Structure 1
Amino acid sequence: MVDLTAEDHKRVSAAIALAEEKSDGEIIAVTAPKSDAYHDVALHHAVLAVFLWLGATAIWPQTLEWLDVRLFGGWDEASQRALLTIQLFFALLAFLVVLFAMRWMPLRMALTPGSTKTRRVRRRAIAIYKAGAERRTVGRTGILIYLSMAEHRAEIVHDDAITEVVEPDTWAEAMISLLGPVKEGRISDGICDAIEDIGEVLAEHFPKTSEDTNEIPDKLIEL
């Protein structure tokens, strides 16, 4: 993950303040190193390794006899107990080796299906939005930009009033503005560009009124 500097934080805060000058909307920007630990993914791959071992020995049972010869010398004909013991030992070994290897987060992320990452990022974004922004504005005009670095994914989550008048496809341009620079390592540039695009949409549907106040601090939140 690329660390954001104090200057990056100032730029994002300024971008939020500028965007909110034109509308009653409240913009929140949040970045996170990852959205989930994916422990279940590691466990699933370890279990899969066990099934692959069992399947392989079912197809090629002579593998167990070969291991019996290597491990025990093969002086006598392999007993059922010896073969089952070998089967159990290597099944457990496969489980533990894969589970240990999956402790390395880059490998775990690489083996996590894209659809799973998308669901977890979306779930985390909604949870953060509900905790920090939902219904915290008088007009229900809060909107969250959430960027999850490890998954290389982002989400835009917004309050009820915005949902009622803005089509989901409207945010596609903001997502492109966000992810383009982020892929190049220019995280603050992407966030600022997305804030600008979102600000224009909010200004169109929720123009600034004299009664509006700054209800949520204008800052970038790093989790």
Structure 2
Amino acid sequence: MSLFKRKPEKFFSPEENEKIVEAIRQAERITSGEVRVFVESRCRFVNPLDRASEIFYGLKMEQTELRNGVLIYVALRDKQLAMFADEGIYQKAGKEFWNDEVRTMLSHFNKENYADGLAKVIGDTGAVLATHFPVDVNKDKNELPDDIVFGR
């Protein structure tokens, strides 16, 4: 699918990009869950959660063994964002957790601290994933790439 290309980091500096990727790696060291970040300029849907859902399934994130993948979606120019979690973790974490994390991102993004906001939410997501899906060092494998996926 051409929507899911990896492109040069036009949205983040190399340092910001590394901060976000390292946050993903750190989060996934403590859980069998998977976290991905998708960033694009514009959201082509009215509701960013609908776009996040489309991307989640387009990236085949529902194919994790324990259904514990989480997508963090950001459309920077349109100032829209959403988190989409697979069925294995969504209910366990509870609706309030996901709403709080979106508020956390908004708070950082309103100050144009995008990388810090993403890193914070990734860390929080890793912690909640670890509570319900702790890592088993003998069995765990990285089921999905840790890099940021950049859209248009």
Please confirm whether the aligned pair reaches a TM-score higher than 0.5, indicating the same fold. Answer: yes
TM-score range, shorter chain: 0.7 to 0.9
Is 2:148 the counterpart of 1:215?
A: no
Q: Which residue of 1 aligns with 2:68?
A: 141
Match 1:201 to one of 106, 110, 128: 128
SS across alignment from 1:135 = helix
Cα distance in structure 2, aligned partners of 1:163 and 1:126: 13
- Larger fraction in strand: 2
Cα distance in structure 2, aligned partners of 1:143 and 1:153: 17
Tell me if structure 2 keeps the 8 A contact 1:27–1:144.
yes
Tell me if structure 2 keeps the 8 A contact 1:174–1:195.
no
Q: Which residue of 1 aligns with 2:6?
A: none
The offset of 1:165, in angstroms, is 2.1
Q: TM (normalized to structure 1)? A: 0.59
1:162-181 counterparts in 2 under 5 A?
162-181=89-108
* CA deviations over 1:102-149 (Å, ceiling 9, x no partner): xxxxxxxxxxxxxx83x2x22211100011043231111111000112
Cα distance in structure 1, aligned partners of 2:60 and 2:85: 9
Tell me if structure 1 keeps the 8 A contact 2:56–2:62.
no
The offset of 1:220, in angstroms, is 1.4
Tell me if structure 1 keeps the 8 A contact 2:43–2:80.
no
The offset of 1:156, in angstroms, is 0.7
Structure 2: gaps (5+ residues): 1-9
Change (3 A) 1:192 1:125: same
- Structure 1 vs Structure 2: percent identity of aligned residues? 26
Letter in 2 for 1:202: L
Query: Aligned residue pairs: how many?
Result: 141
Cα distance in structure 2, aligned partners of 1:163 and 1:174: 13
* CA deviations over 1:4-33 (Å, ceiling 9, x no partner): 112211111100010111111100011111
Is 2:132 the counterpart of 1:124?
A: no
Structure 1: gaps (5+ residues): 37-115
Tell me if structure 2 keeps the 8 A contact 1:134–1:142.
yes
Match 1:6 to one of 14, 24, 35: 14
Tell me if structure 2 keeps the 8 A contact 1:133–1:144.
no
Tell me if structure 2 keeps the 8 A contact 1:122–1:155.
yes
